[in-house]
Every structure is written in structure tokens, then in C-alpha cells.
Amino acid sequence: MRTSARIWAAAIACLTMAAPETAWAEAWPTRAIKIVVSTPAGGITDAFARAYGDYISQKLGQPVIVENKTGASGALAAQSVKDSPADGYTLMYTISSTLLGNRLLLKSLAYDPDKDFTIVAMTPSGHLPLVVHSATNAKTIEEFVAYARGNKVTAGSYGIGSFAHIAIAELNRQFGLDISIVHYRGEAPMWQDLAAGVVQAAVGSYQAALPVLDTGIGRPIAVPTPVRMKKLPETRTFAEQGVTGNVFQLISFTALVAPAAIPADRIDMLAKLMVEGGKTERVQKLLDAFGVDQPAMDRASSIALYEKEGPVWLESIKTLGLEPQ
């Protein structure tokens, strides 16, 4: 086994290690549970945290309070949860960069993603389609590549080190293109600029892209992951169009995590309730609204996904040659 693989395997063992097997004698929960969300209110991560949180509250008979704590790509939220008692009363609902990208993009990280947290459940956040401006006349990756070779093309990304950044950089690498990448603070201004023709392509979520998709100004030409998207059934995957590579197989996810030393019975209960919550009408409506095809995964599947995709995310970010901030 290569050294890097051994290091990753050891890190995974820490992050996914079951909590201590000795159950606590006291009843749980006897008071409110807090879920710290690392993104602002109103977005997909916040919406799902509240929906799953309400289900957990109903089943456990205690309030679940959602607190939005933004900043440093989730690092501030992570530090606050890390410093909380590992008793099942403080959890974090966050995005992949908190657990993965931050370790490469931030010079000083006040938490260790692998040692300080354990996974409760992964919640896929949906396909992130590549959308191009209708003025390109491209309907496929092949046509877009041909357009980019003959024209100056700028593409939008919703953040440095994000899937959008990685995917566009990989297209440049595979096809020898020179697409300029513009990083926005969130998706809304990115899609506004695509509508205005300031950028000719962008990668982002289905729900946020709806304004340009509904008007026809934006045209989806490819989706990542092995299967097509239910909301865009006519849009072929990257793989179906011959664009290979692990980057285009990645599943973008959010995750519910807990401090690493949380008792095993509590994490098992929370994981079970997350799966149950994914079957409720409220969550199913959110899935449909945001174009997400899969609800919360069970804990074993969540850990398997993290083990499979974590190294790909990290290696992809490394190839970008970004300087930690």
C-alpha cells in the first residue's frame, strides 16, 4: 500500500470509528439538541438540516434547535462543535469542504476532521449540472469543447476548491482548453452573470440554476455521477459522453456529524432517524424542489461513500495548485 493510501486509511479509521461501546446510564435526550449549520439560512443545507431536525425532534420528544454559524467554509461551525461535549446534544450539519477541502485550503485549522468528528449520515446534495449559455449553441460536451477552442470562454464557480472549480479545471486539462474560471460568493450572482452573458458556462445546483434553465438562456449539457438526473432526464452524464475520470463520478454531499466521542447508542439512534426522516413527505418535497435524487444514507453507506470519495476530492483539489489562505 502506498504511503498516501496508508495515511488516508488511518484517517478514515479515526473519523468513522464507532463511539465508545459503553452506554451512558442517564436517559437521552432530556433537553434540546442543537444542530449547528455551517451555511446561511435559506439554502439547501439549512433547509435539509431543519427538515431532518424536526423529524428527530418528533421522534425523541425534545426540541431540535438549528443554529447557523457561517464563516471560513464551515471551519467556525466545526470548531464550535468540536469544543462541545460529546454527549449527543450538539451536532453539525455541514458541506463537504468542512471535512475535506479545508485541510488543504486553510493554513490554520482549529479542528482535525478525522479525529474530532464521526459521521452520522451523509445526505447527497444532488447533481451539479454543467450549464452553458444558449449563445454557444452547444448541446453536448463535444460541441462545447469545439466552441471553447474557437472562442474566449469564461466559466463560473461558486467557490474556490468547489466541485465547480475542480470540474472546469479538469475539462481544461483533458481537452487542452483555456477556460477562465471566475469564483463567486455563492450561486445567485453566478447564474445572474450567466443570464447576462458575462460567463458562458457554470456548474452548480439545479434549484439555483432554475431561473436560467426555465428561460432557456442556460442549457444543461452534462451531469456528473454515473446516473442521469431525474429532473433533467434528457441530459447525458459526462461518462455517457466519453468524458472519464474520477472527478466526474463524485457525489456532492452534505453531512450530519457529531463529536467523535459521542456514545455509540446515541449515534446509532440519530443515524436511524435520519434514514427514517428521509422518507417523510416534507423531506421528499425538498428533494423534489432541489432536484436531489437520494435522501439521507444509512451510516454504513455514508462511511463507505466518504472512504471512496474523500481521497478523490483531496487529490483533485491538490492538482489545482492552490495556496492555503
Mean pLDDT (the chain) is 91
In whole angstroms, give the CA distance from residue 77 to residue 81: 6
Residue 137 banded pLDDT, cuts 50, 70, 90: very high
> Which percentage of the chain shows pLDDT scores above 70?
92
Task: Look at residue 11 in the predicted model and tell me its pLDDT.
Answer: 57
Q: Which three cell numbers stand for residue 160?
A: 474556490
Which segment of 20-24, 99-103, 141-145, 242-246 scores lowest on mean pLDDT?
20-24
Query: Is 243 a domain residue?
Result: yes
> Which percentage of the chain shows pLDDT scores above 90?
74
Task: Look at residue 139 in the predicted model and tell me its pLDDT.
Answer: 97
What is 242-270 written as a DSSP string? T--SGGGGPPPEEEEEEETT--HHHHHHH
Query: Is 215 a domain residue?
Result: yes
Same domain (yes/no): 84, 104: yes
Query: Is 324 a domain residue?
Result: no
Q: Which domain holds residue 211?
A: 130-249
Does the pLDDT of residue 197 top 70, yes or no?
Answer: yes
What average pLDDT does the segment 167-178 reach?
95
Looking at per-residue confidence, does 20 or 318 come out higher?
Answer: 318
CATH of the domain at 192: 3.40.190.10
Task: Specify the pTM.
Answer: 0.85
Neighbour tally for 246: CB within 10 Å: 14
Task: Look at residue 40 in the predicted model and tell me its pLDDT.
Answer: 87
Buried b (16+ CB within 10 A) or exposed e, 156-193: bbbbbbbbbbbbbbbbbeebebebebeebeebeebbeb
Same domain (yes/no): 23, 121: yes
Does the pLDDT of residue 216 top 60, yes or no?
Answer: yes
Same domain (yes/no): 223, 118: no
Same domain (yes/no): 22, 87: yes
What average pLDDT does the segment 109-114 reach?
94
Does the pLDDT of residue 22 top 80, yes or no?
Answer: no
Query: Is 134 a domain residue?
Result: yes
